[in-house]
Amino acid sequence: MTRVLGVALALLVAVAAGSFANAAGESGATGQAGISLALPGDPGNFDPATNWLHILAAQQFLTLVDWDYGSSEPIPNAAESWTVSEDGRTYTFTLRSGLTWSDGSPVTAADFEYSFRTIVDPESAAPISYRAFVIENAAAVNAGEQPVSALGVHAVDDVTLTITLTEPATWFLSSLSSMGHSVPSAAREAHGTDWVKPENIVVNGPYKLVEAVAEDRYVLERNDSYFDAGNVDIPRITFFVVKDASTQLAMYEAGELDFIESIPPGELDRIRDDDMLGPEYYNGPRFVVYYYFFNMAKPPFNQVLVRKAFAAALDKDTVTSRITRGGEVPATTMTPPGSTGHVPNETGIGIPYDPEQAKAWLAQAGYPNGDGLPEIELGYNASQLHQNIAQAIQKMWQDTLGATVSLRGVEGRAYSVNAAQGAHDVWRMGWGMDYPDAHNIHMELFHSSVGQPATFKNPEYDRIIEEAAVASDLATRQQLYRIAERILVQDQVGVIPIYWYADNSLTKPHVDRPQTPQFMKLFKDWEVN
């Protein structure tokens, strides 16, 4: 009996141990010259024509133009040069000569045409399709009312591509760094969704996927057919899927990762003070804004004075210095610094922290000391950080205004839609910019055509941001966005901007990375020594 048990168990354990033999082939991965990084989740399918841009896709496929964050200007990538028509609606791109895919075939304008058509093709069911709606007929094609060939993107010849917009949009070029990556039509048509697997993938960017083990690791190697391959320093990048930020940090400290960028806030003080980790720590800005939305459809936040009072009672400095602790910048307005349309602090736009003023506004609104104020429900998507911030703000509103605030953490996908439909009185949102232009925030988040019933709506604001979208003069646009921000965060207080995120990362000393803010890290610019 005991023997049987023992044999059975030994057998099971042997089978289990044997299974490691299959996985052993990877041991060489970190041994080779290259770097190891962490992905916070599995990329799933990263086909850039049907999905939000993933960091893996950004390394492998060429965009028409890139964005220089130093000078805030577009720079050539696959397109060597471009011209804009008189009316500002038609862009004509000329591709570099001699671009090739990793299978040796030439990269042509048709590859870009195919990519844009795939994005709006209703068959691809791509969630990013709406981003292309500024292109002529895109919305109609996506709705199935017109054939894909009607889309305003045309390959005139092998090296010339024209894109026609519905209206002049100066922000359009900057949006091309996160959309419209060239896609190899032949490989994609031949293999269906499997075309992004290592055995099928064809790329034209600096790196190429050579190994993919779902939920475990993705390995990129330098692509020698990339037009600037000589300047790509790191030969191999291994991404390990590690969801837990504490585990990522432990792996970094044990030398199993060379770079991490999600650090638990509670560990930041130790890292800064540590002799070894301190110098490896980098802190810089990111183009992401953290904000609270108001439900303006019902009391008490249907009154602008109440919204003002709650905004003035929120001490953003305490949130960033005590809770997030990672050098985040308290936000007065929505658009992050460094992007077109950012409103500088000096303009005085926004509602500063002022508890006395907050109490006065609340009293004026008819709720002196919070008397008669209904219970406020604050919603956030369940995560430790959002919950911690919500608890701090709950305390501020209770202490300063005498408000009763209940917290509601909602997990997963139900969150944003429910919230916008009015499930909470005030709720947390965040927005990572796709391109560095205020248009990406105002038009996509607060224009009446996109907002849900319970959220901020304002005809004057709509008119101003529509005007700013098509204005071609930079100064005029800056001025218009300044007015728009004042309506949004100061006069109407549809939202409370709380802070702009910071890049908190640790990089091993042998890795050199460019320390300018970027939307998407491009490893072609990194070096190891």
Residues 299-318 binding another protein (CB under 8 A) are 318
What is the rounded CA–CA span in Å between residue 291 and residue 430?
6
Going by C-alpha positions, the residue among 107, 94, 174 that lies closest to residue 134 is: 174
- Shortest Å distance, C-beta 169 to another protein: 18
Residue type, 362: L
93 touching another protein, by CB under 8 A: no
Instruction: Name the minimum Å distance from CB 411 to another protein.
Output: 5
- Tell whether residue 509 is a contact of another protein (CB under 8 A): no
Q: Is 211 a residue that touches another protein (CB under 8 A)?
A: no
CB of 291 to another protein, least distance (A): 10
For another protein, give the closer residue by CB, 4 or 33: 4
Q: Give residues 140-179 in contact with another protein (rule: CB under 8 A).
A: 142-143
Query: Are 240 and 219 in contact, with CB atoms under 8 Å apart?
Result: no
Instruction: Give 118 or 162: the residue with its C-beta nearer to another protein.
Output: 118
* Nearest residue (CB) to another protein, 243 versus 510: 243
HSE-up (13 A, CA, CB side) for residue 30: 11
Q: Of 391, 395, 378, 427, whose CA–CA distance to 313 is shortest?
A: 395
Among 202, 429, 464, 488, which residue sits at the site for another protein (rule: CB under 8 A)? Answer: 429
Minimum separation from the CB atom of position 244 to another protein (A): 6
For strands 90-95 and 236-241, give the pairing. Answer: unpaired
Residues 232-291 that bind another protein (CB under 8 A): 240-247, 249-251, 253-254, 256, 264-270
Give the CA angle between residues 81, 83, 85 to the nearest 5°.
Answer: 170
> Under the criterion CB under 8 A, does residue 7 sit at the interface with another protein?
no
Tell whether residue 400 is a contact of another protein (CB under 8 A).
no
Nearer to another protein, 36 or 332 (CB): 36
In sequence order, which residues have a C-beta less than 8 Å from that of residue 169 and are 6 or more positions away?
Answer: 88, 134, 439, 469, 470
Decide if residue 475 touches another protein (CB under 8 A). no
Report the distance separating Cα 192 and Cα 514, nearest Å.
36
Per CB under 8 A, the list member of 59, 115, 129, 339 interacting with another protein is 129
- Least distance (Å) between residue 478 CB and another protein: 25
Query: Rounded CA gap, 455 and 440, in Å?
Result: 18
* Interactions with another protein, residue window 331-390 (CB under 8 A): 381-384, 387-388, 390
Footprint on residues 13-32 left by another protein (CB under 8 A): 13, 15-17, 19-20, 23-24, 26-27
CB atoms within 10 A of CB 396: 21
User: At its nearest, how many Å lie between another protein and the CB of residue 11?
Assistant: 10
Instruction: Please identify, using beta-carbon distances, which residue of 100 and 406 lies nearer to another protein.
Output: 406
Number of residues that bind another protein (CB under 8 A): 95
Q: Which helix (H) or strand (E) holds 272?
A: helix 268-273
- For residue 224, the minimal CB distance to another protein (Å) is 26
CA 232, 237, 242, 247 torsion-angle sign: negative
Residues 141, 121: contact at Cβ < 8 Å?
Answer: yes
Query: How far is residue 9 CA from its own chain's centroid?
Result: 49
| CA atoms within a 13 Å half-sphere pointing along the CA-CB vector of 70 | 4
242 versus 468: smaller Cβ distance to another protein: 242
Smallest distance, another protein to C-beta of residue 265, A: 7
- By beta-carbon proximity to another protein, the closer residue of 158 and 216 is 216
**Of residues 444, 475, 480, the one with CA closest to residue 460:** 480
To another protein, the closest distance from the beta carbon of 158 in angstroms equals 30
| Residues 65 and 176: beta-carbon distance below 8 Å | yes
- Which C-beta is closer to another protein: that of 75 or that of 250? 250
Alpha carbons 126 and 51: distance in angstroms, whole number: 6
